[in-house]
Chains A and B, each alone.
Chain A
C-alpha cells in the first residue's frame, strides 16, 4: 500500500468536540476500522454520496513519495447526524480541497472512517459524525 500523508495529533478543540459527538453506529466500527491507525488525508473531492446509513466522500490524494494520485473513500456519519452537527448537504462539494482525519480500514483498502474534516480554503473544521465516536478520538 502507498504511504498516505500522516500528520500529528488532533487539536484539543477537535478532541473536545469528538468526545462529545454522537456515535451513530450502523455497523460495528471495530470490525471494519482500526482506531490505533489514525490517518490524515488531504486531497480534492471527486464525489459526495449524501446518503444513509452513512455519507461517503471520495478524494484524490497524491502519494507523498511517488506523486501518483490515489482515490480514497471516507465514511462519515449519516445525514441526520451531520445535519445536527451543523452541516448542510452542500457543505462539501466536488472539487473542494479538504483535509480529513480518521481511522484506517483494517483490510488495507483505500478506505477510512472520518472523524473531522477541514475545508482547506477557509480553515473551517467540522466533525464528521464518526461511528467510532469518542473511542476514535480518545485513541489520539
Chain B
C-alpha cells in the first residue's frame, strides 16, 4: 500500500467495520494485538523504529511478513486485511535490466507457453507447495520464528514450513531434492547470509513459470533495516536454467495484529476439475 492509498484503505476499513452487524471477534486471534510493536504518538505503527535484536545483538527477524509491493517502500504495516502480492509475483525478474531472467534457450519456450496459458499448469494450482522464492511474492502470510541457531519460516498456505539452520552446519552432500531445499546460514555483520541447495527440478519461482533446478545454488542476504521491513537480496546461480547468475531483491513488510490461519488447499480444490484439466 502506498501513501496515496492510505486514506482510501482507512476509510474502507472504517466503513466495513460499521457496516457489519457482527464485528470481528477474537476468533483465531484476528485483531489480537501483536506484542512489542513500536508506535508513534498518534498510535500508528512506527515502521522505521529500530531493528529488533536478539540477545546476541544480531537482528531478530521474528514476525509475520507479507510482500511489499511499492518500490519506494510501504510505510504502514499489513493488518492481515490488506495483504499484498509482490511486484515480482508474476515475473520474478521484472526489475532486472531486461525485465526478465536470463533463461537458457531450452527454458525460453517453456516459460513462454506457461505464461500464455495464464499459469494453468502451475503446481500452486494443484495445491503443491510454494518454494520460498515464490512464497516471498504471494499474498500469503509468512511467519518467521528466529532463535539463536534456527530460523523457521512458517507459511500459511498449506501450513508449510522451511528451516534455515544458523548453527554453522555444512550443507548436505548429494541431498535428496526437496521443495524448500536445504539451508544453512551465517552472519555477515547484520546480514544473515543463507545458502540453499537441493531443490527439486522444475521448481516454479513465479506465476510465469520460471524455474530453478536441482543444480541451483540460492543465496539470500537478509537484512531488517528497521522494525517494519525485511530486505531479501536473492542471488540464483543455476547454470542449467540460466545463462548467468542473477540477483533480485524481494522486500517484505511487517504484519501486525494478525495471526496465521492455515489454508489447506486440497480441502475443496475445484479449479482443476471445473477447467477440465487432467488430474
Contacts and interface: CB of A to CB of B under 8 A. Distances in A.
Interface of A: 13, 16-17, 19-28, 30-32, 49, 51-54, 56, 75, 78-80, 83-86, 88, 91, 105, 107, 109, 111, 122, 124-127
Contacts of A86: 16-17, 20, 22-24
B27 A13 contact: no
B127 A53 contact: yes
Report which residue of B5, B30, B207, B270 has the largest number of chain A beta carbons within 10 angstroms of its beta carbon. Answer: B270
Given A19-B8, A52-B268, A126-B20, A83 B261 contact: yes
Given A13-B15, A127-B16, A24 B139 contact: yes
Interface of B: 5, 8-9, 11-13, 15-17, 19-25, 27-28, 30, 80-83, 85, 118-120, 122, 124-125, 127, 139-140, 156, 207, 258, 261-265, 267-271, 274-275
15 contacts: A13-B15, A16-B12, A17-B12, A17-B16, A22-B139, A23-B139, A25-B85, A27-B124, A31-B118, A31-B120, A32-B275, A52-B265, A52-B267, A86-B17, A124-B21
Q: Is the interface of B mostly helix, strand, loop or mixed?
A: loop
Contacts of A24: 83, 139-140
B120 A28 contact: yes
A127 B82 CA distance: 13
Given A26-B124, A56-B270, A83 B19 contact: no
Nearest to B17: A86
Contacts of B11: 16
A15 to B, nearest CB: 10
Contacts of B19: 13, 124-126
Given A84-B24, A111-B274, A122-B21, 9 more contacts: A22-B139, A24-B140, A27-B124, A27-B271, A28-B207, A80-B261, A86-B20, A124-B20, A124-B21
B119 to A, nearest CB: 5
A56 B139 CA distance: 20
Given A16-B11, A53-B267, A23 B85 contact: yes
